[in-house]
Chains A and B, each alone.
Chain A
Amino acid sequence: NAGVTQTPKFQVLKTGQSMTLQCAQDMNHNSMYWYRQDPGMGLRLIYYSASEGTTDKGEVPNGYNVSRLNKREFSLRLESAAPSQTSVYFCASSESGTGELFFGEGSRLTVL
Chain B
Amino acid sequence: GENVEQHPSTLSVQEGDSAVIKCTYSDSASNYFPWYKQELGKRPQLIIDIRSNVGEKKDQRIAVTLNKTAKHFSLHITETQPEDSAVYFCAASGGGDSGGYQKVTFGIGTKLQVIP
Contact B43 A90, beta carbon cutoff 8 Å = yes
Within 8 Å by CB of A103, from B34, B43, B93, B99, lies B43
Which chain B residues border A44 with CB–CB below 8 Å? 106
Contact B103 A48, beta carbon cutoff 8 Å = yes
Number of interface residues of B (CB under 8 A): 27
Which chain B residues border A43 with CB–CB below 8 Å? 44, 89, 106
Those of A31-54 within 8 Å (CB) of chain B: 31, 33, 40-45, 48, 50-51, 54
A88 to chain B, nearest CB (A): 10
Known: A40-B9, A41-B108, A43-B89. A103 touches B44 (CB 8 A): yes
Cα distance A36–B36 when bound, in Å? 15
Which chain B residues border A106 with CB–CB below 8 Å? 43
- The stretch of A12-20, A62-70, A71-79, A93-101 in contact with B is A93-101
The dominant DSSP class at the A interface is loop
Which chain B residues border A33 with CB–CB below 8 Å? 104
Number of interface residues of A (CB under 8 A): 26
Which chain B residues border A48 with CB–CB below 8 Å? 101, 103
Contact B106 A42, beta carbon cutoff 8 Å = yes
Contact B100 A98, beta carbon cutoff 8 Å = yes
Instruction: Answer yes or no: A26 CB below 8 A from chain B CBs.
Output: no
Within 8 Å by CB of B109, from A42, A58, A96, A99, lies A42
Chain B residue nearest to A105 in the complex (CB): B43
Q: Which B residues form the contact surface with A (CB < 8 A)?
A: 1, 6, 9, 32, 34, 36, 42-46, 49, 89, 93, 97-109
Q: Which A residues form the contact surface with B (CB < 8 A)?
A: 31, 33, 40-45, 48, 50-51, 54, 56, 58-59, 90, 96-101, 103-106
CB<8 Å pairs between A and B, sample of 5: A42-B6, A50-B99, A50-B100, A50-B101, A96-B101
